[in-house]
Amino acid sequence: MQRRQFIARASLLAATLAAGFAAMPAHAQADKFPQRPIRLVVGYTAGGSTDIPFRVLAENASKILGQPVIVENKPGAGGVLPAQMMQSTQPDGYTLAQVSMPVFRLPYTTKINWDPVKDLTYVINLAGYSFGLVVPADSPIKTMQDYIAYAKANPGKLTYGSPGTMTTLHLTMEDLAMRQGVQFSHIPYKGNSESMQALLGGHVMSVADTPAWAQYVESGKLRLLSTWGEKRSPRFPNVPPLKELGMGIVQASPFGLVVPKGTDPAIVKKLHDAFKKAMEMPNYRESLAKFDMEPNYMSSSQYQAFAADTVKRERAIIEKLGLGKGQ
């Protein structure tokens, strides 16, 4: 009898130990992470306004994590290739991808077999771009209120330029029109150099863009009607953002980092914590400021919720414009 009890207890102990050892590798892997270099895939060209701050961030994160964080550029397709890569990447935390706004439009513009919300693990949002709406300095439109009033009085006659159809700038202007109950006329250009020349030459009445307009505003050739961030721009503190004007829009085109679906939550937390420290370093903020960008922190859960909300919002605008796939 005693022998049977001893064997039973020994078997139970062995089973308990075996279960403990079986559970250890995942925890041990997270505890020791990272043990080799990490790839950070950016969807834009090397040397550009998105790439340069990422290289500063990667250098900062390397020091925190104790392993090199290597930036790899995968430009093209509107910046969505890094997110696409995550669908076939091992979920081990050793490859991160930059995600930008065009990713959230993919279900409505492109035939894909993955979901930007469910099939990516959101780590941290880092920063956003600066946007604004400008008119010529001699335009009778002096304020955003004037701009909306003109559009109401002249349906479809108020023209604005943007860097192209389906860009964040285009869709945000159409969102503004929907909210204000007006109709603008969109003129897509190949880039901000072309749109600035069109505006200065009197071929379009206004332009929505990144601060390619800044030098012309500062020299008195253009008037900045509004910025689109959460608060006033440090460079143009006298210009109100759309939110302050009660127009219900904040658009900084946030971008951040994701890893493949199924990545160990403990590894995701390690990456989040490291990149949060990295983005708080002065050199990263300085690199953003050179391109009129600002830090825009979101935690993993906040970023996930932002992605879900943005996908829904983009769908409404795209469907209203009839720009979705198959339309």
Q: What per-residue confidence (pLDDT) applies to 147?
A: 98
The answer to whether residues 310 and 101 touch, using CB atoms and an 8 Å cutoff, is yes
Q: In what order do the strands lie in the sheet with 132-136?
A: 185-188, 159-162, 206-209, 132-136, 222-227
pTM to 2 decimal places: 0.80
Helices 144-153 and 168-180 meet at what angle, rounded to 10?
A: 70
Type of residue at 269: K
Helix (H) or strand (E) holding 286: helix 282-289
Q: How far apart are CA 102 and CA 80, in angstroms?
A: 7
130-184 pLDDT tens trace? 999 999 999 999 999 999 999 999 999 999 999 888 889 999 999 999 999 999 9
Q: How far apart are CA 22 and CA 17, in angstroms?
A: 9
Site of tokens 């078997």: 11
Q: Where are the domains of the chain?
A: 36-129+253-321, 132-227
* Burial letters 94-127, b for 16+ CB under 10 A, else e: bbbbbbbbbbbbbbbbeeeebebbebbbbbbbbb
The answer to whether residues 71 and 42 touch, using CB atoms and an 8 Å cutoff, is yes
CATH architecture under which domain 36-129+253-321 falls: 3-Layer(aba) Sandwich (3.40)
Give backbone dihedrals phi and psi of 193, rounded to 5 degrees, phi first.
-65, -45
Q: What per-residue confidence (pLDDT) applies to 317?
A: 84
Type of residue at 49: S
Site of tokens 């941290």: 124
Answer whether 36-129+253-321 and 132-227 agree in fold: yes
Q: How far apart are CA 269 and CA 320, in angstroms?
A: 38
Average predicted confidence (pLDDT) for the chain = 89
Q: How far apart are CA 232 and CA 235, in angstroms?
A: 9
Q: Which residues lie across from 92 on neighbouring strands?
A: none
| pLDDT band at residue 28 under the 50/70/90 scheme | low
Class of domain 132-227: alpha beta
The answer to whether residues 53 and 127 touch, using CB atoms and an 8 Å cutoff, is yes
Q: Which of 2-11, 196-205, 238-247 has the lowest mean pLDDT?
A: 2-11
